[in-house]
């Protein structure tokens, strides 16, 4: 009987498959992977169930980093032949590479059940157990591997890593030493040994071990990083900085290296550079509480206290049990004179660590500022119970006792502090005040004199000495002491304080404080920084007075105007743009397309950057748009002005004004013959060295010119540059995604919280009261603001649950989520600016009530350019009526949004090329006046 046909026909196929398999294996072993792959696959076409071909094709896939395919192919091989241990070992390796450690462990165990004497399998099994956090079992696996093959340096090294994970550092070092005895050039073992030595605080030895690792392999980023940590622990900060930089050259995305670089820079007082490092670290690891904490400390060192609070708040948001963040936040709040908030912050720290002496002491200081002296005293005494040699606590205790008029006890506290700090001049002054209160006048004068011997310019000691009753018999001597005691009064304090309160929506005593501040500004007192003035008042004249006072105080002797350079007919006008925001920042979002559209035939453009050295999308656009880009961070104002003159800048454009990190001092030194304020600061600079401000007729109507020290360059349409290429995240947010109710009308105001006034908030609560089931979606600048606004809503008869707070997120996502809202409610006296154009760009209508000043008319300018007069209210009542009408009339809102979608594509607002043409015409008009010898004057384009 003939054989079955299938068996007869399959025999040649089997032989051909085996031949291809042998040929493929030879190619595979010689590194010809692609040809081998083709032959393995050809073999499998002939014999689909050839386990060896499947296995070897899987091995090849793993060798070419296609680990998923490897796991699948070898799995198929195992299904055909489960008895081959190599199949299980290689599948385990592929699963290990995929991070599927539990499955990899099962695979290794299956292979070892078939063949229990494979050292490498036990080593790999140990690595998988380590990845699963099962370190004791991993050590047992490494021990088995080493019993099979004693001379395996990798197994010794891996065993050391597992021991180190169990904090058995001495044993780990012994394992690393065995690895190094077998392989003296084993860089990873040297590096891991350094880590263990560092954990034992044997820092010199750790440093030596890292150096040995790097001598073998200088490209080990982690060894550079950990060596930096050891050097920093030894306070060798400059060497540590070099190590972190080396690590970052090798691994630019090493977030921990960026963070620790920031710490080392901060330790040597290079706070601005530290902030750059922290910013880069957060870009890589945005949920790092420690980076936010240390960034806040650096900001506080730079006296940027509001920014520091924001950073500490971020640290706490990520990890609410971060005691250090609460303590540091309290210190920043004290600098802002937000003492109640500081007390609360220290209280939170003490809930977590009741015996935290630093928190107790600092809370006592804040309570003292609130005149809660008994409570402060209790805190100081608690500190001294914990740390009897804490000099600060003795001093602070004495201060509280003095306020409580317990002078003998106060004197004893100051004496205890002086025993610890005998050269503290302030202590002698405090002691003198106490002795004076005890009528021990000779001793009081002696104590003041001791303070002055230590610090001759001490105003407090001179004042106390002048007050000593014994000196009243010698009025000339008393007057001399008082003259020496006269110090400049606190400058610009009230405005700064009120602005800080507005940031947390603390509106207590606001009307009374505003009345005082208004009177002080009008009287020429140094009462408010200009930025605070534009956010607190809607009076252009008051804003001008505040700006003038500031400019005169900060820049009392500006340089004289420069002369225009002689320019050949073919030469271009040179425009310099000065900013710290040439990166992922609101100003650059606005101005990028305008810079790109400049006519390079007529204008030569320069960017002078004093901001971070960022490498982001917006920085790259600016670099491509400008003819020249110069980093001026390390130069003084005078040096930058001289450089600008050398470069022949004709028109210098300040994009900062009085916003954060501004450098108006550059312009006081005269960077160019013509100096212009544009875009960054929505108001007058009040500076006699700024010639023009760029605006439009909606922003500054003719009757508003008197509120500006500059001449107005009026552009047609809106003054605001915008970007028609602005990217919006493709992420589709639902209302649920952003915490909004799925039904009901969503009003929103995603402005910074400091722009929200109690008066405007009252209008909003009125609107909410009229529109059933509506909510108000607000930006959560900080938790305190949210708490305060909820309280205000309840006080206005609105359920606080109808306020929904949006956390900050990436700009592209932030734009996309705004589509979940129905209507943007603008603020006054300071409108939404970039925030308003953002909303309009995504199709969200903005309802505004124009004020009298620039900052309160920006949204009207934008809406006018878009042909939306119907969204510009003429009174608070009209504002409320329009909002209620749109919320109650779906057809009207739909039509409004459709019009917005049409108009934004055709209006001048989002036409960067047109804006560039307008602003260039303004520059030429300025230039022509100056070339003709004429003084600056208002310009109409």
DSSP string, 856-893: GSHHHHHHHHTT-GGGB-SSHHHHHHHHHHHHH-HHHH
Within-domain flag for 500: yes
Angle at 841 between CA 702 and CA 721, to 5 degrees: 45
Map residue 628 onto helix, strand or coil: strand
- Scanning 571-683, the segments in alpha helix (DSSP H) are 586-596, 617-625, 637-646, 665-668
| Buried/exposed code over 295-313 (b: 16+ C-beta within 10 A; e: otherwise) | bbbbbbeeebbbbbbbbbb
Among the listed residues 386, 389, 407, 385, the one whose alpha carbon sits nearest the alpha carbon of residue 398: 407
Q: Identify the DSSP state of 852.
A: S
The torsion angles phi and psi of 133, rounded to 5 degrees, stand at: 75, 15
Strands 846-847 and 939-940: unpaired
Q: Identify the DSSP state of 616.
A: S
pLDDT at 486: 38
Clarify whether residues 87 and 166 are in a common domain: no
pLDDT at 534: 98
pLDDT tens string 850-905: 999 999 999 999 999 999 999 999 999 999 999 999 999 999 999 999 999 999 98
Clarify whether residues 752 and 857 are in a common domain: yes
The C-alpha atoms of residue 305 and residue 338 are separated, in whole angstroms, by 11
The C-alpha atoms of residue 644 and residue 646 are separated, in whole angstroms, by 5
pLDDT at 491: 60
Clarify whether residues 550 and 618 are in a common domain: no
The C-alpha atoms of residue 207 and residue 195 are separated, in whole angstroms, by 9
Clarify whether residues 138 and 81 are in a common domain: no
Clarify whether residues 700 and 800 are in a common domain: no
Within-domain flag for 349: no
Angle at 201 between CA 198 and CA 203, to 5 degrees: 65
Q: Which two tokens stand for residue 709?
A: 């020290």
Within-domain flag for 939: no
Domain count, the chain: 5
The C-alpha atoms of residue 527 and residue 539 are separated, in whole angstroms, by 16
Clarify whether residues 618 and 706 are in a common domain: yes
Within-domain flag for 898: yes
CB atoms within 10 A of CB 940: 11
pLDDT at 480: 45
User: What is the arithmetic mean of pLDDT over 617-629?
Assistant: 97
Confidence band, pLDDT 50/70/90 cuts, at residue 1: very low
Residue pair 186/160 in contact (Cβ under 8 Å)? The answer is: no
Clarify whether residues 93 and 124 are in a common domain: no
pLDDT tens string 795-822: 999 999 999 999 999 999 999 999 999 9
Q: Looking up tokens 């140990």, which residue turns up?
A: 126
The CA-atom distances, in angstroms, between 777 and each of 582, 740, 746, 836 are 30, 8, 7, 15
pLDDT at 128: 95
Clarify whether residues 153 and 6 are in a common domain: no
DSSP 44-94: HHH-TT-HHHHHHHHHHHHHTT-HHHHHHHHHHHHHH-TT-HHHHHHHHHH
Among the listed residues 137, 215, 127, 205, the one whose alpha carbon sits nearest the alpha carbon of residue 169: 205
Residue pair 778/789 in contact (Cβ under 8 Å)? The answer is: yes
The C-alpha atoms of residue 214 and residue 224 are separated, in whole angstroms, by 8
CATH number (domain holding residue 821): 3.40.50.2000
Pick the last residue of a domain from 682, 715, 748.
715
CATH number (domain holding residue 7): 1.25.40.10
Among the listed residues 305, 254, 306, the one whose alpha carbon sits nearest the alpha carbon of residue 284: 254
Clarify whether residues 743 and 862 are in a common domain: yes
Clarify whether residues 879 and 849 are in a common domain: yes
Clarify whether residues 903 and 779 are in a common domain: yes
pLDDT tens string 577-605: 999 999 999 999 999 999 999 999 999 99
The C-alpha atoms of residue 428 and residue 430 are separated, in whole angstroms, by 5
Within-domain flag for 340: no
pLDDT tens string 169-197: 999 999 999 999 999 999 999 999 999 99
User: What is the arithmetic mean of pLDDT over 752-773?
Assistant: 97
Strands 674-677 and 651-654: parallel
pLDDT above 90 as % of the chain: 81
Within-domain flag for 353: no
Clarify whether residues 894 and 747 are in a common domain: yes
The C-alpha atoms of residue 77 and residue 87 are separated, in whole angstroms, by 7
The CA-atom distances, in angstroms, between 392 and each of 357, 371, 384, 691, 748 are 11, 18, 10, 51, 48
User: Residue 750: which H helix or E strand, with range?
Assistant: none
User: Residue 258: which H helix or E strand, with range?
Assistant: helix 255-267
pLDDT at 434: 93
User: Residue 742: which H helix or E strand, with range?
Assistant: none
Confidence band, pLDDT 50/70/90 cuts, at residue 10: low
Angle between helices 510-522 and 493-503 (to 10 degrees): 150
- Looking at every residue in the chain, the average pLDDT score rounds to 92
Within-domain flag for 54: yes
The C-alpha atoms of residue 577 and residue 604 are separated, in whole angstroms, by 11
Residue pair 213/220 in contact (Cβ under 8 Å)? The answer is: yes
Confidence band, pLDDT 50/70/90 cuts, at residue 463: low
Q: Looking up tokens 């008319």, which residue turns up?
A: 857
Range of the domain at 531: 493-554
pLDDT at 150: 87
My answer on whether omega of the bond before 829 falls inside 30° of 0, hence cis, is yes
Within-domain flag for 926: no
Q: Which two tokens stand for residue 676?
A: 């212009």
Residue pair 654/664 in contact (Cβ under 8 Å)? The answer is: yes
């Amino acid at each position: 009987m003939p054989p079955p046909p299938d068996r007869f026909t399959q025999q040649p196929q089997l032989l051909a498959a085996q031949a291809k398999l042998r040929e493929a294996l030879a190619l595979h072993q010689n590194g010809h992977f692609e040809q081998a792959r083709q032959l393995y696959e050809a073999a499998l076409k002939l014999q689909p169930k050839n386990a060896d071909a499947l296995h070897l094709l899987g091995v090849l896939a793993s060798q070419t980093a296609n680990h998923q395919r490897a796991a699948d192919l070898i799995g198929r091989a195992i299904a055909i032949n489960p008895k081959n241990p190599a199949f299980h070992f290689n599948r385990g390796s592929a699963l290990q590479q995929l991070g599927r450690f539990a499955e990899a462990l099962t695979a290794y165990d299956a292979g070892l059940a078939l063949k229990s004497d494979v050292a490498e399998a036990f080593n790999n099994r140990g690595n998988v157990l380590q990845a699963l956090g099962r370190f004791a079992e991993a050590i047992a696996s490494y021990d088995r591997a080493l019993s099979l093959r004693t001379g395996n340096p990798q197994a010794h090294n891996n065993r050391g890593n597992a021991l180190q994970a169990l904090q058995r550092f001495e044993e780990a070092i012994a394992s690393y030493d065995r690895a190094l005895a077998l392989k003296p050039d084993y860089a990873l073992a040297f590096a891991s040994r350094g880590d263990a030595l560092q954990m034992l605080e044997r820092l010199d030895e750790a440093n030596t071990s890292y150096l040995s690792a790097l001598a073998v392999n200088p490209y080990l980023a982690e060894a550079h990083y950990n060596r930096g940590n050891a050097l920093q622990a030894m306070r060798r900060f400059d060497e540590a900085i070099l190590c972190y930089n080396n690590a970052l050259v090798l691994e630019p995305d090493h977030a921990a290296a960026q963070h620790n670089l920031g710490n080392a820079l901060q330790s040597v007082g290079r706070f601005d550079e530290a902030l750059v490092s922290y910013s880069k670290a957060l870009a890589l690891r945005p949920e790092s509480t420690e980076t936010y904490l240390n960034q806040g400390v650096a900001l506080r060192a730079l006296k940027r206290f509001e920014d520091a609070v924001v950073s500490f708040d971020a640290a706490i948001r990520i990890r609410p049990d971060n005691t250090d963040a609460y303590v540091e936040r309290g210190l920043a709040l004290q600098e802002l004179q937000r003492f109640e908030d500081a007390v609360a912050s220290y209280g939170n720290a003490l809930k977590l660590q009741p015996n935290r002496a630093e928190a107790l002491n600092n809370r006592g200081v804040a309570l003292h500022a609130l005149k809660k002296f008994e409570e402060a005293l209790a805190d100081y005494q608690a500190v001294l119970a914990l740390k009897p040699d804490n000099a600060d606590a003795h001093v602070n205790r004495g201060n509280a006792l003095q306020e409580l008029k317990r002078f003998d006890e106060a004197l004893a506290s100051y004496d205890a502090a002086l025993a610890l700090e005998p050269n503290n001049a302030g202590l002698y002054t405090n002691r003198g005040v106490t002795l004076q209160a005890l009528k021990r006048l000779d001793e009081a004068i002696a104590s003041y004199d001791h303070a002055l011997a230590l610090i001759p310019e001490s105003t407090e000691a001179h004042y106390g000495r002048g007050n000593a009753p014994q000196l009243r018999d010698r009025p000339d001597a008393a007057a001399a002491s008082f003259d020496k005691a006269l110090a400049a009064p606190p400058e610009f304090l009230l405005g700064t304080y009120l602005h800080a309160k507005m940031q947390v929506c603390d509106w207590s005593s606001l009307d009374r404080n505003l009345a005082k501040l208004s009177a002080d500004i009008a009287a020429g007192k140094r009462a408010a920084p200009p930025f605070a003035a534009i956010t607190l008042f809607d009076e252009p004249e008051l804003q001008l007075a505040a700006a003038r006072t500031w400019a005169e105080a900060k820049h009392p002797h500006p340089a004289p105007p420069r002369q225009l350079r002689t320019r050949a007919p073919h030469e271009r006008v040179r425009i310099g743009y000065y900013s710290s925001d040439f990166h992922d920042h609101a100003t650059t979002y606005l101005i990028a397309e305008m810079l790109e559209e400049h006519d390079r035939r007529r204008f030569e453009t320069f960017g002078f950057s004093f901001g971070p050295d960022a490498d982001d999308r917006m920085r790259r656009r600016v670099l491509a748009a400008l003819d020249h880009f110069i980093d001026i961070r390390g130069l003084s104002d005078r040096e930058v002005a001289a450089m600008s003159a050398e470069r022949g800048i004709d028109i210098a454009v300040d994009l900062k004004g009085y916003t954060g990190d501004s450098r108006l001092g550059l312009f006081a030194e005269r960077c160019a013959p013509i100096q212009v304020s544009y875009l960054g600061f929505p108001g007058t600079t009040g500076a006699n060295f700024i010639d023009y401000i760029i605006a439009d007729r909606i922003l500054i109507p003719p009757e508003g010119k008197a509120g500006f020290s500059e001449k107005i360059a009026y552009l047609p349409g809106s003054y605001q540059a915008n970007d028609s290429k602005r990217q919006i995240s493709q992420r589709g947010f639902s209302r649920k995604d952003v915490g909004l109710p799925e039904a009901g009308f969503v009003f929103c105001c995603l402005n910074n919280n400091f722009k929200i006034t109690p008066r405007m908030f009252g209008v909003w609560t009125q609107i909410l009261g009229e529109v059933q089931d509506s909510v108000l979606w607000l930006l959560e600048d900080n938790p305190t603001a949210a708490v305060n606004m909820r309280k205000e809503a309840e006080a206005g008869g609105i359920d606080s649950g109808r306020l929904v707070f949006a956390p900050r997120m990436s700009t592209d996502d932030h734009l996309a989520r705004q589509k979940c809202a129905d209507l943007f409610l603008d603020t006054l006296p300071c409108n939404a600016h970039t925030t308003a154009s953002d909303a309009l760009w995504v199709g969200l209508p903005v309802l505004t009530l124009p004020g009298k000043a620039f900052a309160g008319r920006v949204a009207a300018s934008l809406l006018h350019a878009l042909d939306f007069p119907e969204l510009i209210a003429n009174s608070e009542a009209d504002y409320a009526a329009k909002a209620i009408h749109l919320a109650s009339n779906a057809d009207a809102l739909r039509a409004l949004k459709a019009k917005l979608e049409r108009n934004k594509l055709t209006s001048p607002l989002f036409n960067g090329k047109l804006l560039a043409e307008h602003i260039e015409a303004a520059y030429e008009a300025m230039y022509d006046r100056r070339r003709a010898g004429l003084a600056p004057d208002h310009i109409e384009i």
